Amino acid sequence: MALSFAVVIFVGSLLLSLPISQVPTSDATYFDHLFIAVSAVCVTGLWVESIFDTYNILGQIVMMLLIQIGGLGLMTFISLIYFRIGQNVRMRDQVAVSGALNNSSLNDISNWLGKIFRYTFIIEGIGALVFATYFIPEYGIGHGTFLSIFMAVSAFCNAGFDPLSNSSMIALQTQPVINWCIIALIILGGIGFSVWFDVTNQFKNFDRSRPKFALKNAIRHLQPHTKLALKMTFLIITLGTLLFLAFEWHNTGTIGEMSIGNKVMTAVFQTVTMRTAGFASIDYTLAHPVSILIFVVTMFIGGSPGGTAGGLKTTTFALVLMLAIAEIRQKEYINFDKHTIPAKLLRQAFVIFLLYTTILIIGSGLILTFDPKVDFLYILFESISAFATVGVTANLTPTLSLASQIILMALMFMGRIGPMTMFLSLLPSKQDKNRDIKYTSTNILIG
């Protein structure tokens, strides 16, 4: 999986660097194209050269394809093609694809992949139609249609790129159609494919004659993973929105001069986009420092697994939190929705949390070393934005040193494929099975 993303990034950087992909006034170097290709394939949204001022329609089409491939994964595309033309896919590749898409079963993986593509293009198509109601009257049918498709793909894949201007969505921060459509696409893309299918299956046989009973029955039969992902998503969006409103309500640099409706819409938009998308409807350099810190936490948690979202993932964070609470209460078993969570799963969640935190600290520390004059809060904001594949910035990315920009590229790459996958891909193919040895138990003082 790591190699497949690297190949797409390299090919994409070459295509973006071609003169036919750029506007005549572009002065971008190959490194700039490589950085943008990494950001597009890792569905992040950071850039060192303006997309609006660098690429023509052809270059923007290349970027849209990179975002789409990065959002779903090259292995997913290749596997579906192989299945559809009747070719065999190796078991190890099926396992890798299933793991990338958070599918616990290898049964009928071809149908699973087909449903993912079908749902993706239907949702993106609906999103493009909604965007078209604004962009076509504003930009004309040709360019407006392209902008609608690009924005739908970018929002659903949680990429955060837009070819509208150099200030992201700030100029459109009070446009309800654009804002609410982006919010819906980000949530649908970041909730996870398994959640889609579980919810869809439960509501297929919805009993319209007894709607209240049917709704309770459908919710009761959702998988524990679906319930946990939905609950965490709702909790993060609600809490994030309320905190944003509390700290920014009177801030004239962000939402202080807006109407109440626009304040609420901007708060929801910013909370949702901070989970992994990267569209900005405010200037982060004018936001309250506490709001920036809240954004850092939101980006750290990220979206749900098995979708186009980045970050630690909502369910992973929930498991680590439940583990901590259980240890404090001295409980042996951790339960959710009348199910006991396996100890192995809890250990994996904690290891991912530890790796994620460690990489973030190292990345932030290195950037602080190369750019010591930058406020550390903004460096942390930039680092987690890259590592969680969010893509927001406090106008910092283009001003950083070359070394710091390389670190951001590495963070985006590791964040997209996952820290665990990255480390596993670097391990030798053959492990010594005799190393897993149990000795006499001992006690070590902690705390």
Tell me the domain boundaries of the chain. Answer: 1-300
Tell me how far apart the alpha carbons of residues 228 and 50 are, in angstroms, rounded to a whole number: 39
Closest CA to 383 of 415, 355, 352, 351: 415
Per-residue pLDDT tens digits of the chain, which is 447 residues long: 778 889 999 999 999 999 999 999 999 999 999 999 999 999 998 999 888 889 999 999 999 999 999 888 766 766 666 666 555 655 555 555 555 555 555 456 677 778 888 889 999 999 999 999 999 999 999 999 999 999 999 999 999 898 888 777 888 999 999 999 999 999 999 898 889 888 888 877 666 666 666 677 777 888 899 999 999 999 999 999 999 999 999 999 999 999 999 999 999 999 999 988 889 999 999 999 999 999 999 999 999 887 888 899 999 999 999 999 999 998 889 999 889 999 989 998 998 999 999 999 999 999 999 999 999 999 999 999 999 999 999 999 999 999 999 999 999 999 988 776 666 666 565 555 556 677 887 777 776
Q: Residues 118-130: pLDDT tens digits? A: 889 999 999 999 9
Answer for the pair 177, 143: CB distance below 8 angstroms, yes or no. Answer: no
**Helix intervals (H) in 50-90:** 51-54, 57-72, 74-84
Helix (H) or strand (E) segment spanning residue 415? helix 402-417
Closest CA to 89 of 72, 104, 102, 77: 77
Q: What pLDDT, on the 0 to 100 scale, is given for residue 74?
A: 63
Count CB-CB contacts under 10 A for residue 31: 16
Q: 311: left (phi > 0), else alpha (psi -120 to 50), else beta?
A: left
Tell me how far apart the alpha carbons of residues 365 and 149 are, in angstroms, rounded to a whole number: 38
Tell me how far apart the alpha carbons of residues 400 and 185 are, in angstroms, rounded to a whole number: 31
Closest CA to 283 of 413, 169, 145: 169
Closest CA to 270 of 254, 256, 258, 257: 254
- Cα dihedral 316, 227, 417, 69, rounded to 10, equals -170
Q: What pLDDT, on the 0 to 100 scale, is given for residue 17?
A: 95
Q: 303: left (phi > 0), else alpha (psi -120 to 50), else beta?
A: beta
Answer for the pair 267, 255: CB distance below 8 angstroms, yes or no. Answer: yes
- Residue 287 per-residue DSSP state: S
Model pTM? 0.89
Q: Residues near 439 by Cβ (< 8 Å), separated by ≥ 6?
A: none
HEC string for 177-228: HHHHHHHHHHHHHHCCHHHHHHHHHHHHCCCCCCHHHHHHHHHHCCCHHHHH
Q: What pLDDT, on the 0 to 100 scale, is given for residue 1?
A: 73
Answer for the pair 39, 47: CB distance below 8 angstroms, yes or no. Answer: yes
**Helix intervals (H) in 253-401:** 260-274, 289-301, 314-328, 343-370, 376-387
- Is 288 exposed, middle or buried, given 0-12, 13-18 or 19+ CB atoms closer than 10 A? middle
